[in-house]
Amino acid sequence: MRLNELTIAQAARGLKRKELSSVELTQTVFEQIKKRDLKVKAFLSLDEKGALSSAKEIDEKRAHEDILGGLAGIPVAIKDNILVRGLKCSAASKILENYVAPYDATVISKLKEAGAVIIGKTNMDEFAMGSSTENSAFFATKNPYDLQRVPGGSSGGSAAAVAANETIYALGSDTGGSIRQPASFCGVVGLKPTYGAVSRFGLMAMASSLDQIGPITKTVGDCQTVFDAINGKDKLDSTSVDLKKEIRNTKFEIKNLRIGMPKEYFAQGLDEHVDKLVKEAIKKLENLGARVKEINLPYSEYALACYYIIMPSEVSANLARYDGIKYGYSEFDKAGDLMEVYLGSRHHGFGAEPRRRIMLGTYTLSAGYYDAYYLKAQKVRTLIEQDFEKAFKEVDVIMTPVSPTPAFKFGEKIDDPLKMYLSDIYTVSINLAGVPALSMPCGRVDGLPVGLQIVGPQMGEPLIFGTALALEQNS
């Protein structure tokens, strides 16, 4: 096994026993990138010099003291909408093409403190809007399992980099499925944490009431290690919360586990092979002693419509900051007056999908339409959240597919926004309800990975990890 193929747990063990150094590990990762990324195109920018220098620093520290954490000296790739001080951060948009982050996001400060080695920034759909990376202003990332197919999105670069062993793990962000769907398409593990569990400070805001940063890893155990390192209340993000201690310490036992299967998620539109693999995974847990129960989430069918009002509304407010004045692409020199700076910079700086969503959100928030669209959607959101609350009185976790099909081909959905939006049909309700969910591989269809989604109640990450570990160990 080559070093770049190691999991976090394996690499940490090797580093601790001094069987390998962080510099060697980091070098091997960059060798793989040079070889493989010409085809996969997972990275927007690399920081080989910075990475090797932090690796060296960690190796020297380790020579003197033994007490280094489980992430020390291990390479990580960061989605390009998360700020890393001194590195370019474009969100795959022309409007931020030359933007250099002036400070670290809280998750980055935490990773750096843990000794992580940041190797570069990964490709994504522009401003995290999309399900395929085809909306990147620069290039599309390819699925390492089949280069004719998309890696999913919007964290497609992060998922592809992990799957192609071009990094040991990565961070992504998830507003409506952007960690889980690419994780499922690329056969890796991805977690969308409870809303507020991970600080959003330094994450470029897309839809603030839905956005969460989360890990993309090779194994469930690695996912837990990274989540443990990045979660927690942060005074720089007033929506962040601490996971409750009593929940954190609950002992997990598979024979006490009650699994809910929502009828609405195994209905028309779901690929039959995906359906079969997801049900087989649930069966495995049943054989291990868990109880499986069919449940109802009756408002599921409204989740996508609800999401496509709330998300664009928040997008239109958040992306107002890209005005050609503070940073990024600007037509200041061409423009005659202030309005022309705005109109020109935003017209030519944003790609098609951000413009579509900003327009839509501006409309749904505009005078005379606010009540009919935005307020209506917020009320439906209450009903969707209550669906989950009720369900979690009867079951501990809910299991569903991540996406209705495995990875699709380039060009298949890009010309029809609504068709593209449907790839998020099983993931958006989770963000609306603010609950955590993990995507993990549960088999393949014609060589393409399929993901299982494990959903927990708010703050239910320990339950999700317990369940996922049990399944992973028995696969």
Partner 1 sequence: MIDVKHIAKLARFGLTEKEEEKFKKELSAILDFVAKLNEIDTKNIEPTAQVTGTINVFGNDETNLICEDKQIKEDILKNAPAKEGRYFKVKRVLE
Distance of alpha carbon 4 from alpha carbon 17, whole angstroms: 17
Q: Looking at 178, 313, 330, 403, which residue is catalytic?
A: 178
Span of 143-151, 237-245, 276-284, 401-409 interacting with partner 1 by CB under 8 A: 237-245
Q: Which residues, other chains included, contact 60 with Cβ-Cβ below 8 Å and sequence gap of 6+? A: none
- Rounded to a whole number of angstroms, the minimum distance from the CB of residue 60 to partner 1 is 25
Q: Which of 2, 263, 321, 379 binds partner 1 (CB under 8 A)?
A: 379
- Rounded to a whole number of angstroms, the minimum distance from the CB of residue 255 to partner 1 is 31
Q: Looking at 90, 93, 154, 403, which residue is catalytic?
A: 154
Comparing CA positions, the residue from 263, 267, 266, 362 lying closest to residue 317 is: 362
- Rounded to a whole number of angstroms, the minimum distance from the CB of residue 355 to partner 1 is 6
Per-residue buried b or exposed e for 109-147, using 16+ beta carbons within 10 Å of the residue's own CB: bbbbebbbbbbbbbbbbbbbbbbbbbbbbbebbbbbbbe
Span of 143-151, 156-164, 165-173, 295-303 interacting with partner 1 by CB under 8 A: 295-303
Distance of alpha carbon 160 from alpha carbon 166, whole angstroms: 8
What are the Cα distances from residue 177, in Å, to 52, 100, 156, 419, 462? Answer: 33, 27, 11, 15, 20
CA torsion, ordered 241, 305, 384, 177, to nearest 10 deg: -40
Q: Verify whether residue 326 is a known catalytic residue.
A: no
Q: Write out the DSSP string of 22-33.
A: HHHHHHHHHHHH
Token readout for 435 is 């609950």
Comparing CA positions, the residue from 403, 401, 423 lying closest to residue 412 is: 423
- Rounded to a whole number of angstroms, the minimum distance from the CB of residue 301 to partner 1 is 8
Q: Verify whether residue 154 is a known catalytic residue.
A: yes
Q: Verify whether residue 178 is a known catalytic residue.
A: yes
Token readout for 136 is 């990147």
Q: Which of 68, 100, 205, 292 binds partner 1 (CB under 8 A)?
A: 100
Q: Which of 381, 405, 420, 452 binds partner 1 (CB under 8 A)?
A: 381
Span of 212-220, 221-229, 300-308, 390-398 interacting with partner 1 by CB under 8 A: 300-308
Each residue 103-122 as x (binds partner 1 by CB under 8 A) or -, in order, gives: x-------------------
Tell me the catalytic residues: 79, 154, 178
Give contact residues for partner 1 (rule: CB under 8 A): 99-100, 102-103, 195-196, 208-209, 235-236, 238-239, 241, 299, 301-302, 305-306, 308-309, 316, 320, 323-330, 332-333, 335-344, 346-348, 350, 355-356, 358-360, 362-363, 366, 373, 375-383, 385, 417-418, 433-434, 458
